[in-house]
Amino acid sequence: LQQRRGLRLSAPAAIQVTVRDALNQALDEELERDERVFLLGEEVAQYDGAYKISRGLWKKYGDKRVIDTPISEMGFAGIAVGAAMAGLRPVCEFMTFNFSMQAIDQVINSAAKTCYMSAGSIAVPIVFRGPNGASAGVAAQHSQCFAAWYGHCPGLKVVSPWSAEDAKGLLKSSIRDDNPVVMLENELLYGVPFELSEQAQSKEFVIPIGKAKVERQGTHVTLVSHSRPVGHCIEAATVLAKEGVECEVINLRTIRPMDIETVEASVVKTNHLVTVEGGWPQFGVGAEICARIMEGPAFNYLDAPAVRVTGADVPMPYAKILEDNCIPQVKDIVFAVKKALNI
């Protein structure tokens, strides 16, 4: 009616969407778009998912597209890998990536290596997804970050979203990719609302795998992070800005393949580097970034050694005060930046 009257309709504005709802949207849109896509895992169907990521999908798509499995990661991951080899596009949910250790043979020896070992004749288009890293009060066996583990393995792509836009765009790209993708989400982010742009509300919105995003422009130091610590870096940058220090914050988004070019360009501009991650320090994501910068052209632009902020080198304690001291906090990032800048 408004159009008939010659009035201009305003474009849909950005909206607030939780990471949980963004993932749910992505699954819904891809299940609708491609009949080869199906979801399987523990409690993903009738219970709507342990974290309600698959809420409403079983009622909409039925038993053949959204499948409850027994508590046997080795079994259902193997079924999913076989289905992918046969031409389907499974999304395999682990209730936590700590439990993916039960299926590590399927993920690495079957999914990651088959395309190479078959000289490219067998694609394995599968997504392994679920919460990764520390949650709250779940202790050592449920708190590990597997970004470095899976990022170590050729044949896998590994994505690690922070915002709702990251989650939606990366999950859709992962489902459409012909390679096995490990998608490392964060349980503590599921209920956090983020702004979802007009573009990201489209059913065809995807984020390219292997491309980082500069979340905040700065001139004095580069902060590189992924997943939940990206938010901590932005908070630390806000604190430091009050002291005259402008931090450039890079959200990696993808662990493998790593967008080292974006990091290099930032280091060339700021001359300082701090990496932040929730995982352990030894052989970690930050260690890889530091090595790549040292081996590349940006090394000549560094005015001080790179600094890493990581989780503590211990199995996660249960007590909250100890847990807080094992996970990078905003104050730890601020301290690291001042160390890098020698202030």
Residues annotated as catalytic are: 73, 142
- Beta pairing, strands 66-68 & 37-41: parallel
> Residue 242: beta bridge partners?
none
Distance CA 301, CA 268 (A): 5
Of 185, 172, 181, the residue nearest 32 (C-alpha): 172
Residue 67 CA to residue 76 CA, distance in Å, equals: 10
Segments of 22-108 assigned E as strands: 37-41, 66-68, 89-93
Alpha-carbon torsion, ordered 211, 212, 218, 223, to 10 deg = -150
> What span, in angstroms and rounded, lies between the C-alpha atoms of 175 and 204?
13
Identify the CA nearest to 37 among candidates 159, 126, 122: 126
Residues 193-220 as b/e (b if ≥16 CB within 10 A, e otherwise) read ebebeeebbeeebbbebeebbebbebeb
Contact 309, 332 (CB under 8 A): yes
Q: List Cα–Cα distances, 314 to 130, 131, 311, in angstroms.
A: 23, 20, 8
Cα 190 to its chain centre, rounded Å, is 12
Cross-strand bridge partners of residue 128:
92, 182
User: How many angstroms separate the CA atoms of 264 and 212, rounded?
Assistant: 12
